[in-house]
Amino acid sequence: MIPIHSYKGRRVAVFGLGRTGIAAAKALEAGGAEVSSWDDSETARANAEAAGVHLDDLNRRDWGDIAALILSPGIPLTHPKPHRMVELAQSVGAPVIGDIELFARTLAEMPEHRRPKIIGVTGTNGKSTTSALIGHILRETGRNAIVAGNIGDAILAQDPPRPGSYYVLELSSYQIDLTETLECDVAVLLNISPDHLDRHGGFDGYFAAKKRLFDMQGNRGIAIIGIDDDETNAFYSSLRQRRREEQIIPISAGRVFARGVYALGDRVYDALDSASHPLVDLNKAQALPGRHNAQNVAAALAAVRMLGIGGRAAADAIASFGGLSHRQEVVANEAGVRFVNDSKATNAEAALQAINCYSDIYWIAGGRAKEDGLEVLEPSLHRIRKAYLIGEAQDQFATELDGKVGWQKCGDLANALAAARADSAGSPGSVVLLSPAAASFDQFKSFEERGEAFTRLVLDQSATVVAAGGAG
């Protein structure tokens, strides 16, 4: 745990008692704050109480003594409208911040020469893979690396910062919105496409949240920018006007340039210290298929190179990366048919990245639809043999896919998997792909729970198939 001393002797409200809220409440209490914690969910309150968090109904108490509100990133800050807890905090002039800001204030209290290195990773897609890959390279090359934020355990549940360590933070737009003073030594923006628009009042608000990660750097630190989108390319150009050229590193999956890191074909090229040269053979990185992962590798390579790690050592570490759960995770292979869990693909852009890695796809999609729909998938629909639709989005997705690819409404994941398994049987080389292009919250608590359910069903049904075959 990282004790938070900045509110010692004052009362702080914590609202939202998931993993980040529980960790924040305990860290504040360990630092001497008086903590009032609450969640509207009875289950969440019970879990928090079991973890040792003191509950105090924030709906009923006087807010006059509240010095700050620590808000879970999943709770609306500004759009569609501020949550009532945000309005209560604003009525008494209490700042509304998140756990990442508490961590940032702890870093600011440390002497500069003793602070750990901070690497922040944001973007619409690829954040988790890139963050995990950076952490993996750092560990493989002998560094003490902690990967946290929007991935893994809460940041305040980690060991206290110490000199020589590295914190790799995956940062969502929600988390950045609740952060004011985080100065990253290296900040990474991978890409941008419409997502979470309801929470930011539109695309401009969403992109503005991402840009704030770089605003908080001031004129210090390294900015690594993916330039494959028009919007991020324009942002890269604007940063170059405000900062020294050596602080701004472009990355790309397909564009060649004189200084930066880029992927071309099956190689990633390092053009940072000298003339461009191929450094990473993507064929050796079995857990990182597809053009989108080429961009992730380029970003991770640029980040660790700017932290002083040699190119060859980094390339060796990339080749040994095992990948992440729920991100193009092959969970079974039945007679040449692969079953792939890509539950993390909660929007169409993310699903497109997986679809472009395969052909002969039996695609399981659906959940709670995002605003942008499936239009971006149209150039790649020829890869899909049939779609199996689930959840709230099944009617909308059926309408969007009608006449373009065969589809079947299945309702839930179990039915979809059974249908896809039956249709793909006897087709070696094909893929049953869960890449939902939708959020999970209609039928599951999280994309992780959805992916775990898929994996469990695949393995259970595989055992049934084997048993049935053996009985014959």
CATH number of the domain where residue 47 is located: 3.40.50.720
Segments forming the whole domain that contains residue 56 = 11-97
In a 3-state reduction of DSSP, which class is residue 15? Answer: strand
Determine the Cα–Cα distance for residues 154 and 139; give it in Å rounded to an integer.
19
**Are residues 143 and 254 located together in one domain of the fold?**
yes
Per-residue pLDDT at 33: 98
Residue 268: strand, helix, or coil? strand
- Say whether both 297 and 345 belong to one domain: no
Residue 83 lies in a domain: yes
DSSP single-letter state for residue 428: T
Mean pLDDT is lowest, of 144-148, 336-340, 366-370, 371-375, for 371-375
In a domain, 348, yes or no: yes
Average pLDDT over residues 246-263: 94
Q: Which of 271, 298, 319 is the last residue of a domain?
A: 319
Edge-to-edge order in the sheet of strand 248-253: 144-149, 165-170, 117-122, 186-189, 222-226, 248-253, 260-264, 267-271, 277-281
Task: Say if 206 falls within a structural domain.
Answer: yes
C-alpha closest to that of 332 among 472, 423, 465: 465
For residue 245, being part of any structural domain is answered with yes
The pLDDT of residue 311 is above 50: yes
C-alpha torsion sign, points 437, 99, 92, 63: positive
196 pLDDT higher than 80: no
DSSP 147-195: EEESSSS-GGGSPPP-TTEEEEEE--HHHHHT-S----SEEEE------
432: domain CATH number? 3.90.190.20
264 and 405 within one domain: no
Confirm whether 2 is domain-assigned: no
Token pair for 320? 């040994």
- Which of 69, 97, 125 represents a domain boundary (last residue)? 97
Question: Among 97, 126, 155, which residue terminates a domain?
Answer: 97
Same domain, 144 and 286: yes
Indicate whether 161 and 303 sit together in one domain.
yes
pTM to 2 decimals?
0.83
Structurally, the chain folds into a number of domains equal to 3
Say what the pLDDT of residue 198 is.
84
What pLDDT was estimated at residue 388? 98
Q: Residue 9 pLDDT > 80, yes or no?
A: yes
Note the pLDDT tens digit of each residue in 90-99: 999 999 999 9
Confidence at residue 464, expressed as pLDDT on a 0 to 100 scale: 53
